[in-house]
Amino acid sequence: MAISFSAGGICTLNPTDLQSVDKDVFALLVTGEECAAAFRNPREQVIFTNKRIIAADTQGLSGKRKSYATLPYGKVNFFSIQTTGSIGDASDSELTLSFCNGAEVTFRVIGNTDFGKLSRMIAEYIL
């Protein structure tokens, strides 16, 4: 199931390095936009940039068909983080974003992630 910023849902992801981000995502970036964090599962990637969240979904049996959804931080009403450890180096944690259209998306992250850094970046853009 593709990540939907309008329908909500839960997506389980693993942290990944920025070098593994789908190269087509970089074609979507605007001037001054940079990737800050990336997460993935076998068919989806979620990239947090300094301006928005980009969800890339690989579709079909061949994996050639892809869809991209973006959401600027200005559309986030609030967010919450639930960690199993310290906020700076948590594993098996969740980030829930609530959008102005009423939808909520939860990203369940399996693997160590600096949720403090991610939280500060999101807060900077929605406050």
- pLDDT tens column, 24-42: 899 999 999 999 999 998 8
With tokens 């579709």, the residue in question is: 59
Range 63-90 average pLDDT: 80
Contact 54, 47 (CB under 8 A): yes
With tokens 């967010």, the residue in question is: 79
Contact 110, 11 (CB under 8 A): no
Whole-model pTM? 0.83
Mean pLDDT value across the chain: 83
What pLDDT is recorded for position 28? 93
Fold exhibited by the domain 9-126: PH-domain like (2.30.29)
Parse the chain into domains and list their residue ranges: 9-126
